[in-house]
Chains A and B, each alone.
Chain A
């Protein structure tokens, strides 16, 4: 039964994607660790870390797609959940430093010693245990999303208004985490991590392991998303997206569906953040910046919202382009990103994955017959 819940929605494309992801999860660490540094197929460690970072971005994009692509909730605050998950992991990594900090305090992280704090604030307790930190990386974003969604969806705040208040939420958190009094390192955030679960964070093996963990997390989240979207619940979500009032009139408690998928999505984003932090080695309030959330939206848009492979692809492509541009032509990156935003919304409203098959089909069958099929057009939200 449970097995069917997870597998019956899997299409051939989904299996191919999972197979590719699994192959990458095995091959990349193998190419990095198994081959000597001079070997032509050797994968340098920085590339492993970079790809691992892309995978966490892809997980964030997947989370965003679940609410935007399938339920029509455009969140401009998903970076907040991502960053909260990151802070939870960062707190664990901070505690792991132990007495090896600059000030050598056995209990307090360096920034607290610097601020002359005498004892660990209560909300830092327990973060020295990895399971607690990992749980918090899921629970804290989930709880915030639940409370936020509880109010917002019951009040039927929707569409643009919801987008604007999610942006206000992440902005408020940005301001809050900048404060030194919050006890999260203020402006500098948390950094100087040493090890995770006893493994040195600088070593190649740990980095390869983190990559594999990211791939695994992405794979599991993907399966979960497939299960959700192909279930009966998923159909209701799509109905909410396309005609919210009509769904409500049919007797569905729209706000419950929204709240469920919103909370799940926030927890996925938190997990992405938790995997992101050990790979980049720092978390600071800048991660809450509203611009980050909006950038994540473009990953989904360009890959194709309403498809599950699309956001992963979009996150990878955009971030690869970003890495390339900021190294080669830093001046031009924002021009390119801005143009991408405009071009995708104007010319590729369904994104790459959503549009390419159609374009392909049109190209191959254009000459034979195929009058424009009216039914393939997305029905306008009739409210």
Chain B
């Protein structure tokens, strides 16, 4: 069915994706295979039963019957692997691959991994895993457990590196016809990597059958790579270069680049032009990728800082307990999820949605308590406020540690937040996307609350001119408490979101406190838009530095930049102007 698998043209075969893919689904052909494995005398009635079934179900199963006969060959071919020299085994692997039956895959994978054993007593071949003092045997075709064997009863079938390469190539061709699309995809990717010129026909056949567009696209690319490695006509190769150039990812680029240096003159020129085009588009994609990662980091910074933009930015309270509000929010999410798990496990996906208002309430109330209990006595003494709120943060941290223990707690992700999708050459994970969307929504809601509601109006009045606001009949102490509660509550909501991407531990808040102060100061104290812009630009700057400097150094550089920036513009990017500043 398939051409015999050649030895690989290039040795650069990594531990192929095919080998690490999950084992083939064993349910579909289970009963039939079992029938074939029975001793011949019993197999005949089983085959008869199958024949009956085939009559009932129609012609489609007639093919299966033929395959049932084939599987005797398959079995023999697998058993043959156990005998002979390496050179002979290589031929036998080729013969096995030539049968073109995906059921041979587990046996080949086991052979490559050194897990294929021969039973000394009858020469039968098994996949064996060491268990206790001996081995647990698995029948290589049916994947049924067939008991255990002692250490001396079985013998490992040896392979060398040359054989391993042969096996990988054989696997690549075989798994193209697997029923699981993920497995076919892995096989196509493996061929794309090995650029096996002999695989073209196998790929053509697989492409004719392929229904999954994503797998088909990879197969097309793999076919193009294979064509370039084969001795086909220049037109076909030229088409292949165009196809790979259109694909444009790093792998395609590497393949075309190798043609550019090694191919014939007209092809090489075409390939060179294609590489140049691809490099340009790669560079653009790199920029896009950095921007996406930067926005993602920026959204985390925004979440961490947005509550502080109220308590520190608008109110001017140096709230060192801000990080602990985030932490309390995350723990509220943990508690709510625990409640859902106990009471309504079916609705667990909605736990986070419920956790948001719950966290707002919890941290908002804690915030109001802090304002009433400590901060109001320290009005206009910012440095003392800093120390007192630091004390509060220590107490909250230790309180949570005493209640919940020092270890990380897990807050699960709802199903709509897991997974990823591809956008061109970007892989975008849903949880990052949701967090970006959520942080922007939260920001918009906060802006709206400050601009459009009466409460927001009083907050602005009190922060701009406290005494005048009081003269106009605004109860400034109440507004102070509620504003601090609002900022803390928003920090709590941010904590729920951050519980999705960070460890929920008593130290959660501490890791954000310096970053969030930096964001608020950078953006301009008292300016919410500045906080948004500050968070996003710091996030993007960080991600653009990372490829050159590494993650830690990038962070250090950003910190140093911020320290220098504050010297230049002590009031941040967007300083408030006017009399409010002097107050």
Q: Chain A residues in contact with chain B, CB under 8 A?
A: 74, 76, 148, 151-152, 154-157, 159-161, 163-165, 167-169, 171-172, 175-176, 178-179, 290-291, 294, 297-298, 301, 331, 333-335, 337-342, 344-346, 349
Contact = CB atoms under 8 A, between A and B. Distances in A.
Interface in B374-400: 374, 377-378, 381-388, 390-395, 397-399
Given A155-B570, A176-B556, A342 B374 contact: yes
Nearest to B555: A175
Contacts of B562: 165, 168
B211 interface: no
Contact of B393 (A160, A301, A338): A338
B388 A342 contact: yes
B552 A179 contact: yes
Instruction: Give the 4 A-B residue pairs with the shortest CB-CB distance, closest first.
Output: A341-B391, A338-B394, A334-B398, A338-B395
Given A163-B318, A165-B562, 9 more contacts: A165-B566, A168-B514, A334-B398, A339-B391, A341-B394, A342-B374, A345-B387, A346-B374, A346-B377
Nearest to A341: B391
Nearest to A153: B567
A339 B567 contact: no
B117 interface: no
A179 B563 CA distance: 21
Given A161-B521, A161-B570, A346-B378, A341 B387 contact: yes
B469 interface: no
A331 B384 CA distance: 26
Contacts of A151: 564, 567
By secondary structure, the A interface counts as helix
B301 to A, nearest CB: 14
Given A161-B570, A175-B555, A167 B374 contact: no
Given A168-B563, A335-B398, A160 B391 contact: no
A340 B374 CA distance: 13
B382 A342 contact: no
Contacts of B392: 338, 341-342
A142 B560 CA distance: 18
B378 A345 contact: yes
A3 to B, nearest CB: 37
A160 B393 CA distance: 18
Contacts of A157: 566-567, 570
17 contacts: A156-B570, A157-B570, A160-B318, A161-B566, A163-B318, A165-B562, A168-B518, A176-B556, A301-B387, A334-B394, A334-B397, A338-B395, A341-B388, A341-B390, A345-B388, A345-B391, A346-B388
Interface of B: 318, 320, 374, 377-378, 381-388, 390-395, 397-399, 401-402, 510, 514, 517-518, 521, 552-553, 555-556, 559-560, 562-564, 566-568, 570
A333 B402 CA distance: 12
B111 to A, nearest CB: 38
Nearest to B382: A160
A344 B510 CA distance: 23
Contacts of A179: 552-553
Contacts of A345: 378, 384-385, 387-388, 391
Given A179-B552, A337-B391, A346-B377, A74 B383 contact: yes
Task: Specify which of B320, B386, B399, B555 lies most central, judged by the most chain A CB atoms within 10 Å of its CB.
Answer: B386
Of A168, A169, A339, chain B has the most CB atoms within 10 Å of the CB of A168
B241 to A, nearest CB: 42
Contact of B568 (A155, A159, A290, A297): A155
B388 to A, nearest CB: 4
Given A74-B383, A178-B552, A338 B391 contact: yes
Contact of A172 (B390, B391, B395, B560): B560
B400 to A, nearest CB: 11
A96 to B, nearest CB: 30
A266 to B, nearest CB: 16
Contacts of B553: 179
B391 A340 contact: yes
A346 B385 CA distance: 9
A130 to B, nearest CB: 31
B515 to A, nearest CB: 9
Interface of B is mostly: helix
A218 to B, nearest CB: 24
B384 A334 contact: no
B386 A163 contact: yes
Contacts of A298: 387
Contacts of A175: 552, 555-556, 559
B566 A290 contact: no
Nearest to B393: A338
Contacts of B556: 172, 175-176
B505 to A, nearest CB: 15
Contacts of B384: 345, 349
Contacts of B385: 345
B387 A297 contact: yes
Given A168-B514, A171-B514, A338-B393, A160 B559 contact: no
A122 to B, nearest CB: 20
A167 B383 CA distance: 14
A334 B395 contact: yes
Contacts of B518: 164, 168
Contacts of B555: 172, 175
A340 B394 CA distance: 10
Contacts of B398: 331, 333-335, 338
B440 to A, nearest CB: 26
Contacts of A334: 394-395, 397-398, 401
Contacts of A335: 394-395, 398-399
Contacts of A169: 559, 563
Nearest to B386: A163
A289 B547 CA distance: 27
A152 B567 contact: yes
For B377, B388, B391, B521, the residue with the greatest tally of chain A CB atoms inside 10 Å of its CB is B391
Contacts of B394: 334-335, 337-338, 341
A175 B552 CA distance: 7
Nearest to B374: A342
A33 B127 CA distance: 72
B441 to A, nearest CB: 28
Contacts of A168: 514, 517-518, 559, 562-563
A188 B357 CA distance: 43
Given A341-B388, A341-B391, A164 B517 contact: yes
A333 B374 CA distance: 20
A169 B562 CA distance: 10
Given A160-B382, A334-B397, A334-B398, A171 B559 contact: yes
A349 B377 CA distance: 12
B52 to A, nearest CB: 70
Nearest to A344: B387
Nearest to B513: A290
B372 to A, nearest CB: 13
A157 B393 CA distance: 26
A159 B382 contact: yes
A167 B563 CA distance: 10
Nearest to A154: B567
A331 B560 contact: no
Contacts of A290: 514
Nearest to A152: B567
Nearest to A159: B382
Contacts of B381: 349
